[in-house]
Chains A and B, each alone.
Chain A
Amino acid sequence: MAEYKLMKGNEVIAEAAIRCGCDAYFGYPITPQSEILETLTLRQPWLETGMVVLQAESEVAAINMVYGGAACGKKVMTSSSSPGISLKQEGITYLAGAELPCLVVNVVRGGPGLGTIQPAQSDYFQAVKGGGHGDYKLIVLAPASVQEMNDFVDLGFELSFKYRNPAMILSDGIIGQMMEKVKLSPVKPRWTDEEVIKLNGSWATTGKTADRPRNIATSLELDSARQEQFNHKLQAKYKEIQEKEVRFEKIACDDAEYLFVAYGSSSRICQKAIDLAREKGIKVGLLRPITLFPYPTKAIQEMAEKVKGILAVEMSAGQMVEDVRLAVNGKVKVEHFGRFGGMIPSPNEVVKALEDLIIKG
């Protein structure tokens, strides 16, 4: 029997972590995501599955605990919101450089700086284009519902271990705080130490045995030629991810003359905007990127062949729109519409923006 519950997005992240056999969560309080750590400490999964839950002294310490746990070959995660994610960037680039799998959840709030505690989508560049130093990529998943908050925890771990690369769930204050019906995942046991050695023993620091050379988790390579070679290896991995792991959803696109491109909360607002626009006789569809890296570039290219104009809707001053423009490459008009700083656009505003910027413009 499937188990259904009415839950907050943040709460379900905690529940999904326990159910997918996560070994450890290291976090630090920050609004609007503190319910993740609160739910975990209330649930006490260490009594149930042995999962470690620890409130670290800072976001910096938390992400470095994630590095330590990930290097052990275990399923470890952290979560935070924008200012805290900025602090975690040091650890994230080290994790990417040491090719360690882990899950990072960002429940985005408006910025820059301390900004606001209200929802925003202004961390797209940070999540998708880098964030920390060096040439690296995260696998970035963008949930648009509480159900996807649940589903992407397991998926995030699966992809991060498949490619030995950090994965991020890029959520926002709306998805984190809203309550929806969710079908909970079946319970998976945690890997035993023997399974960890079997699955990840070629690289994880599980204790050096006589039958293998020592495993070292490091991102250091002082020899430039070898460092370049390592970077080529990383780029080849990102290319493979780009080829194999693109995920997106198309809504009302079959007869569409115009297109919204929006992810996460904005895509939900766009769904209502589609209904309102179609009542007015405007045939508009939605392409919702589910993975932000890898980005659904080809799918957008294909839609650009069919529609008269594209509106990128995001709760930012215009970040993802750059990737839409790169995909469309001048084929049709691409404009951006966004509210930001914690403001949420209404479906009516989105329809008006489509009319003003794309149809009339």
Chain B
Amino acid sequence: MSDIKDIIKEENLVYKKTKVLTDNVMHYCPGCSHGVVHKLIAEVIEEMGIQEKTIGISPVGCSVLAYNYLDIDWQEAAHGRAPALATAVNRLYPEKYVFTYQGDGDLASIGAAEIIHACNRGENIVVFFINNAIYGMTGGQMAPTTLPGMPTSTSPYGRDVKMSGQPLVITELIAQLPGTNYVTRQAVHTPAAVRKCKKAIRKAFENIGQKKGTSFIEVVATCNSGWKLNPVKSNEWMVENMFPVYKPGDLKDE
């Protein structure tokens, strides 16, 4: 058996963590999609060489501490207001790469007005919308995107559509707005999906450079803690139940 120290050499390196990702230990649950999406954004920022020009806006929710993980300047927004902050940053620094990173409660519930109007104005930003159909941070409450019949801590008998309405499929709505240029729905549950998602992220950031208006990337995501499933089962559940409502693919690409 050869010593591991003999194997760890520059010429044997097949994978290296991007320097845009900090060394801080992530607080996300094992199996959570956030870590993968963070990594993809960090890689794209490094590959495009835009670390000094990128400003992230983090939300309220599980990713409230996103600023601990990507080594760029960040603003932490009040719940749902990230698109308003991003609007100002975009107007005041039109040459910067500005993105918001928001969950389903943040973007589709309390921040519905801010996201609609920012997208309608065509702010030259990227919006990341992580949709796991639940409020993760506060302990698994019903979200605007919770599926019919899906149990959560505030819909313990399953979402009753008579009481709470159907899930809000906001990305389809966003795609109707003339200010948006690129609207896509991705996932990160398989290596193929991860590669596809990264391409979408790259395209969205390149759109900023070309001043194309708002690029909007929904990532259909898992919340194994909130869903009370292990990571593998979560991925299976997502494909089976989330994808029919939140269908992966491009909604708009101009």
Contacts and interface: CB of A to CB of B under 8 A. Distances in A.
Given A56-B84, A57-B113, A218-B67, A72 B76 contact: no
B86 A57 contact: no
Interface string B68-99: 00011111111001001111110111001000
A329 B44 CA distance: 64
Interface stretch (B53-61, B178-186, B193-201): B53-61
Contacts of B75: 67-68, 71, 205, 216-218
B106 to A, nearest CB: 13
Contact of A91 (B67, B78, B89): B78
Q: How large is the interface on B (under 10, 10 to 19, 20 to 34, 35 or more residues)?
A: 20 to 34
A204 to B, nearest CB: 8
Contacts of B46: none
B74 A205 contact: yes
A24 interface: yes
B54 A207 contact: yes
Given A72-B89, A72-B93, A64 B84 contact: yes
A91 B81 contact: yes
Nearest to B89: A68
Contacts, number: 122
Nearest to B114: A61
B52 A209 contact: yes
Contact of B87 (A54, A206, A215): A54
Which of A58, A62, A65, A74 has its CB near the most chain B CB atoms (within 10 A)? A65
Contacts of B117: 56-57, 61
Interface in A203-247: 205-210, 214-220
Given A24-B92, A54-B91, A69-B88, A218 B114 contact: no
B64 A64 contact: no
14 contacts: A52-B91, A61-B81, A61-B87, A61-B113, A61-B117, A62-B84, A64-B77, A68-B88, A69-B88, A71-B75, A74-B92, A193-B93, A205-B73, A218-B75
Given A67-B78, A94-B78, 19 more contacts: A24-B88, A56-B84, A64-B77, A64-B78, A64-B85, A65-B84, A65-B87, A67-B81, A68-B75, A68-B87, A71-B89, A91-B81, A98-B76, A206-B93, A207-B52, A207-B55, A214-B73, A215-B74, A218-B76
